[in-house]
Amino acid sequence: MISRTRTMSELSVELGGNEDSKLDRALRIGLVSISDRASAGIYQDQGLPALQEWFGAALSTPWIMETRLIPDERAAIEQALIGLVDQAHCDLVITTGGTGPARRDVTPEATLAVATKEMPGFGEQMRQISLKFVPTAILSRQVAVIRETSDHAALIMNLPGQPKSIKETLEGLKDADGKQLIAGIFAAVPYCIDLIGGPYVETHEAICKVFRPKAAIRQK
């Protein structure tokens, strides 16, 4: 299943912005939910709505989103990732589901197969966050990679499938007063996108505060 989400941010870019500007164009996000049963219509997918809701609340700069709902088939996963990066020119691609040890869990293998660089720190941090809640987090095999073509590059990350875990992984852990205890992985994503030639991304700090070196922060 393929869909494309048009946002108010996208509309504003189309009306008044320059899509071809590397710094000012909308961030292109590809979301891939991987589930045999959800893709077959046996139950309603939860990963895509959770991610769409989170990005809608977190991002303060323009963004465009495309989604895929596919079964746990390695060839289908690889095809979706390649299409989102090479044809749709997504800057960020996120998958949910298929990262455990079960026979049908092949998302990490598919992700690594389309990669040009591995980014192991993301997977390490995801497991550190999840271990604060459940000891079975050590069974997760999430990876993150860069896929590069001759004229484009994207960050691809595997996330958990449950909405609660998705939110925790992206935002990290906060205390009752909102103080950050452990950084979520998205705090590092905008700077990574800077480094691979993508658009400048900013967030609402109450949801997720982005970290950049001082020299990389754009003056408003």
For 174-208, the DSSP string reads E-TT--EEEE-GGGGHHHHHHHTT-----B-TTT-
Render pLDDT for 172-199 as a digit per residue (tens, 0 to 9): 988 888 888 888 999 999 999 999 999 9
Domains in the chain: ranges and CATH: 2-8+23-212 (3.40.980.10)
Render pLDDT for 70-123 as a digit per residue (tens, 0 to 9): 999 999 999 999 999 999 999 999 999 999 999 999 999 999 999 999 999 999
pLDDT surpasses 80 at 138: yes
Model pTM score: 0.89
